[in-house]
Amino acid sequence: MSDGPQTVSFAVLPLPSDAAGSGTEFARTLAAHPLVHQELPYDPQYTVYNRRLTALRMTSGSAEDAYWRLRRHVILRHTGELPIEVRGPDAVRLLDLVFTRDVAKTRVGRCSYQIACLDDGGMIMDGVLVRLAEDRFWYGQADGDLTLWLKAQARGLDVAVVDPGVWVSQVQGPDSLRVLEAAVDGPYPDPFRYFDAARVRIAGQDVVITRTGFTNELGWEVYLEPGGDTPAVGDRILDAGRPYGLTPVAVGGARRIEAGLLNAGSDFDETVTPFAAGLGSMVDLDKPAFIGKAALQCADTRSRTWGLRVPGGVARLGLTLETEGAPAGRVCSSAWSPFLGCGVAIVRLDEAGPGPGTPIAVVCHDDRTRPAELCTLPMYDPHREIPRGKRVDIPTFPRPEMGRDEGA
């Protein structure tokens, strides 16, 4: 069973140079990354994320090429993440009201993963909170809009919620910290642990970097503020990464699916609680009142979100999970895993109960229904030793497995 008629997908293409000056009233509807010029030589196609453009495809390599460069070497990705700035004497008070974890535990120079919920416990947003000072934070939100929600909850508080005009780029992969060491002016930041944040100078410009990234590989992100010489920073990073083959790429979903990193809007929405999404450990019911706490105290704490391995095929998105011919749930994200040699997916079941090891049938891209099996998330590296730098073995290419279906 599927969701019905297949929708048509669109990609955004850059205008040719001779048309770039013929703007219209819609010309500023979508914003491009300030380092977009690094992607243009690779004929990018863009999708919209946070009303910003982020590359969906580039000729710098196929999805499989990008996957192996990420896992074995290093990649550069200019993201559509949207940092929101929250600052002022009541910044912690506002954020503690909105997020499900204790914000005070995030020290200056550290980051934390934070979820915002509605009163009924449904998830609005997830993202990474960076504490820049005692009373100043950036929240790198996923696709959506938390700004108005934060402003609505800030009534009567001495706090400002603003768009700082910051853009984020990621350098990810086993060679990523070597690239950082070559890129920074002066000494390498010390310490610079997983989920640390630091201010450094790159090409003479002050930038914030964090040991984070949407890949679950060793890596870091750079936050580019307006007013600086951003092209100089971008050039320095590319120069530092040249010995390691660093180029901009469009990374597919396989690695984040393997890692169990959920994508807002597809893997969860406002109808899904953190418990149902498998994120119950990110809810602190012992902290003082926060939006959604009362509902979550009464909610079913069992997960309905799992990984799925599909030998020989890639699951079709939508209501394509079946048990004994009856609908069983939704495929939220799917891709082919070059490392595991099978299709991988993040799925959400209609009912809690079935868990890892449960056989389930799924409709694939070629319209064939294939046997599959629920699995844990992450699918490997359960303690996230790779991004922590504690697991440094470089994966080898797998042996040939069953071919995937056409269109995967």
Q: Is 85 labelled as part of a ligand binding site?
A: no
Distance CA 67, CA 70 (A): 5
Tallying the residues shown for the chain, one arrives at 408
Tell me phi and psi for residue 138, to 5 degrees. -115, 135
The residues that bridge with 131 in the sheet, in sequence order, are 137
Distance CA 76, CA 35 (A): 11
- 349, 328 in Cβ contact below 8 A? yes
Q: CA separation (Å) from 109 to 69, 105, 153, 341? A: 30, 12, 26, 39
Distance CA 94, CA 158 (A): 9
Q: Which amino acid is residue 404, in one-letter code? A: R
Instruction: Please give the structure tokens belonging to residue 309.
Output: 């391995």
Q: Across the chain, which distance is largest between two alpha carbons, in Å?
A: 63
**Bind-site residues:** 221
**Bind-site residues for substrate:** 221
